[in-house]
A and B are shown apart, each in its own frame.
Chain A
Amino acid sequence: MSSKTEVSKTIMQLVLVVVGMFGFGFAMVPLYDILCDVTGFNGKTAGKYTATEVQDVREDRLVTIQFLASNNANMPWEFRPKVRTMKVHPGKMNTTEFYVRNVASQAMVAQAVPSVTPFNAAEFLHKTECFCFEQQQLATGEDLDMPLRFIIDSQIPEEVTTLTLSYTLYDVTEQVGLAAN
């Protein structure tokens, strides 16, 4: 049997563990993001790419890239890629467009979120310009061709012959609010 001070010491240690683990639960949020950014797990693509050096164009290789566009639940907009697949040379800059039209009866703001499969290809897809870097606000009936410029890294593993870039469009009107005019 031990004294009161030893009991309170044990209690304090255990309370610290409780507080620490509560914090750890929240720390998992940035840790998870970092892990996904570093490894490309979960098909997460990096932000805007700025070329550090000019890549050799691999004229000998052709990689197929497929584009998918889908809407999150309750998102009424029309959203589709203008070209469904492209065959591209790694290292070369490519341009394509996605089409959106606001078919709702009021102005809305949308955010597209990208994902790439296979996961090990995610880090080799560089986007120099993408509509997913910003939000789109469209008045009712308004439409837009949204540009996407990308390079597939010349270092992309040989076994990757096809990759799929999928965008999901979310309604973020409530979160961000409509801009003036």
Chain B
Amino acid sequence: MISLAVSVRDLSVHYGRRCVFERVTFDVGVGQSLGVIGPNGSGKTTLLRAVAGCLAPRSGDIRINGLTPRDAYERTGVAYFAGDATLPGSVRAARWGSLANGDAVTSDTRPIRALSRGTRQLLGLRTALGRQPLGLIVLDEPWEGLDPDAARWLSTILESKRDRGAGVVLSSHRLHDLAGLCDMYLFLLPRHAALIRAHEIAQGALVTAELLAETFDRLRNGGSPLRAAS
């Protein structure tokens, strides 16, 4: 039996009266990765924030290594990064980087707001992923703004952390980046979510961006999901 890095059961999140998503269920095992795919406004950021424990759902249950997120932080390292816009612009890059584990992530002393978007994104990723040990990685649109070298670095480090036992949850519009990396995919659509494993999409072959796009279109057009999550 595979041990679970994160387990989400019947998760529903509302902002006031607006329902973002309802009754989403999935498990990510230790050493597995989940890609979250959906159109703008479907609730990807909200879902990842709830999984990271920064946002309380209206109903449902989230467990990280069997513990509530807040209990899990001290025992299981959780890396969460929601994009360069969440970095405080007035803080100097080198000082922000020092918050990872005390080691310098960068020697750049410029304020974060003075950095290019890709450099900010890389700084945030390096700082979040700098924690040791890491049991769960939750990244929202992590490839946004990265140049090809940095994008390759990110994919490599995610594979490496996953292979060393971390659970990985990612959201991205860049399907070609997700395609080679994830063991399963959660398609978030308005009022509908579907969890599909990589081998179910590709019938044993490699998952490609085109296959993910086809699956997404089929689900959006009312096709039945292979494995219902809600």
A and B: interacting chains: no
Residues of chain B having any CB pair with chain A under 8 Å? none
